[in-house]
Amino acid sequence: MTLVLAVAAALLAGFGWSTQGRLSAPDVGAPSAPAFAAATFRITLGLLDTTPRPWDGEAVAAPGQELEVEGDQLRLHKYAGPGGESGPDPELPNDQVRGRAWVASTRPAPMRVAGARPVIQAPSVLVHLRAGPAGQALEVRTRQGAFRFTPAEVPLFAPASFLEGAVRVERVPPVVPVADSQLGAQDFPALAATASGEVWTAWQEYDGATDAVYARRARPSWGPSVRLDSGRDVFGVAAGEDAQHRVWVIWAMQVDGNWDLYGRAFDGTGWSRAERLTHDAGPDLFHRAARDGRGRLWLVWTRPVKGRTAVFARFCDGGRWSAEAEVTAGESAGGNSWFPAVAGGRSGVAVAWDGYTAGSYNVFLRRYTGERWEAVESVAASPLFEAEPAVAVDSEDRVWVAWIEAGANWGKDTGRLVERAGTGLYRSRAVRLACFDGARRLQPLGLEGALPASEYWEAPQLAVDHAGSPWLLVKHLTTRQPDMRGNHPMGAMYWPMWEVHALRYAGRTWSGPLRLVRSGGRNDGKPAAAVDAAGTLWLAWNTDLRDTKGYLAKQHRVEVAAVAAPPAPAVAPELAPASPSSSASEPLHPREAEAVARIRQYRVSRGGRTYAIYRGDLHRHTEVSIDGGGDGSLFDAYRYARDAAALDFLGVTDHTHDVVEPYAWWRVQKTADLFQVRDVFAAFYAYERSVEYPNGHRNVLFVRRGAAVLPIEYAEANGWEGAERLFWYLRRNGGSSIPHTIATTSGTGWRDNDPEVENLL
């Protein structure tokens, strides 16, 4: 039986819904190909515990069953107290998996504030059923009791409870790494489902020095990973099928200092040569692709135009690419536009994007129908932060748009001494969803209840299955210390992790959110989604395999999941009339645009030279730092600089111990290149060397990309050596350093100075 799964019941069993017959993992071709489990179950233990208890146990394989156990939310003993002092010896051993058995305990969470009310955290494990009779029960034994269940008793989105509610079992989609034998840093996955039933994945991969682009067929059977380009500097991958049924993989690539889009097409027998698809002198970025009802492959992206960033589109039809067309128009063209999304329907395509207009980010929609572009529509245009849309078109040609929302005056002045404060870059995150049926604006019911406002939800992605139900994928924030945000709304947030969750809307009910397996990672980079010809929903996401046992990145890779359409009769999503978001908030600086223009035009002539004022920020953190969970993503930092603060330059300075990891530093430098615009905005390649007194914290800046991060040696960290090693490093690489936080224990004792490389503070 191949992954196509000719027998529908077997398909349902393999990818998540209850069925009858024999369960077995789909045959995916070569032995080295990824193999989905027949079913995967998450077992959460100790939900009713008020004090720590051991939940050691095992999954018992019956005759004919093939089981595997994997850790899910496991934890280590907290060896240090709130102030960093040594904690007590562990009462219970560290959580771990041993074959089909595990050692795991409920245990108190580490808290940010000493004396905070304890939070007991429950461990969880994954049981992968590789093969076995469908009617045969799975048996689980723990130190607190045993229980049994059959796969049919736990369908997707319907968890079961055992041991009087102390244990929860939920079915989750089985996942596989897209290419686990490749140990480069995989990122930014794309999916494409073809009319003939094939499914393709594509991604970029960093090898420690440069990027490569890969593609791999996942259905009807897994093919080999095909390297489409290598030795490059790549950002983002898109995939789709054109009118000649060729599968395109398209990526942004920097050549001679400029970003353009390049693509290769597979015609069933071989791949075409790489073709340059954009030719502008400015950076062409943030691209997406989708196929419309006529089979045309549409490509959308952003490009600078006359001091602003605009959205462009073109399509491939009959073997040729159309002329480019600017999609932004009217009010939406009044500022920088970012993050376009595109989806195809019977009558054409829908393009959504966000733009900075009237002092805030707003979401716009434009449809191409009847061989022409319709007027730009406003999706969200309040003073709130409304950005990063996702778009999908259902079988009735209704357009679904999801986006993130945060507070008003985003990126404006904040701080303890600010009387009228704006919204910090990562003060909140919520997801909103609307449906456009022609000129009518509608919305589903109950999304706010499914995604509580007290939590952080972001990076939405949309797909509509063959039953007409929308699937919403979002990332959700988890912190190692549960009391972090409540006690430190403007302070550091340590060890963040974002995991992908899936929700499905049918009738008037949201199912989920369901946390996907091995999805922990950073908060940028949306998951990819595609529905194949058989109705299976395919998902792909980037992960660095951080989890509750270790919040640091382990291995950057792409995971793939597949979920079959539900066996129950389709229930049409119930929609209600809706109005756009509104907010009574007033801008903190109503004449800000005039003030920015005035200072940028200001000139002083002295001694035959003319001087101008350039404003910037050279100490900005992001989620790359372990304490930067409250600072937002790299993209948030640059959007703040370009738009909310209207800066002329920026240096993102995440900590040495966070960017010394090669892919993190590669990504930080690459992102600076993405936002460089000649004569408009300059981005430094920068990081913070976090050394305590007497050497002190210093921000390190470069104007050329490529210098390696200088690690902090033990002698320097302890003050036994000074900054001479740093100064020589800066001379070799053409860099500069700036001491900062000089009035704290992170300050310098001023015992070292080199005015050639350090002349600012």
Whether 741 shows a pLDDT value over 90: the answer reads no
Alpha carbons within 13 A on the beta-carbon side of 331: 18
Per-residue pLDDT band for 163 (boundaries 50, 70, 90) equals: very high
Tens digit of pLDDT for each residue in 624-633? 998 888 899 9
Q: What is the pLDDT of residues 450-498, one digit of tens each?
A: 999 999 999 999 999 999 999 999 999 998 877 775 544 545 688 899 9
Read off the pLDDT band of 87 (50, 70, 90).
low
Give start-end residues of each CATH 2.120.10.10 domain in the chain. Answer: 175-577
Three-state DSSP at 490 gives coil
How many residues are there in the chain?
Answer: 761
80 Cβ contact partners less than 8 Å away, ≥ 6 residues apart:
86, 87
673-699: average pLDDT: 94
Residue 732 neighbours by CB distance under 10 Å: 9
pLDDT tens by residue, 274-326: 999 999 999 999 999 999 999 999 999 999 999 899 999 999 997 899 999 99
Instruction: Give percent of the chain above pLDDT 90.
Output: 78
Can you tell me the mean pLDDT for 323-352?
Answer: 96
pLDDT bracket for residue 566 (50, 70, 90): confident
Cα atoms found within 13 Å of the Cα of residue 406, Cβ hemisphere only: 23
How is the beta sheet containing 537-543 ordered, strand by strand?
175-177, 557-563, 537-543, 528-531
Q: State pTM to two decimals.
A: 0.93
- Collapse the DSSP code of 344 into the 3-class scheme (helix H, G, I; strand E, B; otherwise coil) and give the result: strand
Rounded mean pLDDT of 248-264? 98
Identify the CATH number of the domain defined by range 175-577.
2.120.10.10
How many CB atoms are closer than 10 A to CB 273?
Answer: 6
When mean pLDDT is compared over 21-25, 31-35, 529-533, the highest value belongs to: 529-533
Question: What is residue 584's predicted lDDT score, i.e. its pLDDT?
Answer: 75
Indicate whether 637 pLDDT > 70.
yes
- Mean pLDDT, the chain, rounded, equals 91
Percent of the chain with pLDDT over 70: 93
Task: Please check the confidence at residue 522 and state whether its pLDDT lies above 80.
Answer: yes
> Would you state the pLDDT for residue 479?
86
Pairing of strands 185-193, 175-177: unpaired
- C-alpha 619/C-alpha 346 separation (Å) is 49
- Amino acid 684: pLDDT: 98
pLDDT value at position 391?
99
- The one-letter code for the residue type at 147 is F
pLDDT-derived band at 84, boundaries 50, 70, 90: low
Reported as a single tens digit per residue, the pLDDT across 136-160 is 999 999 999 999 999 999 999 999 9
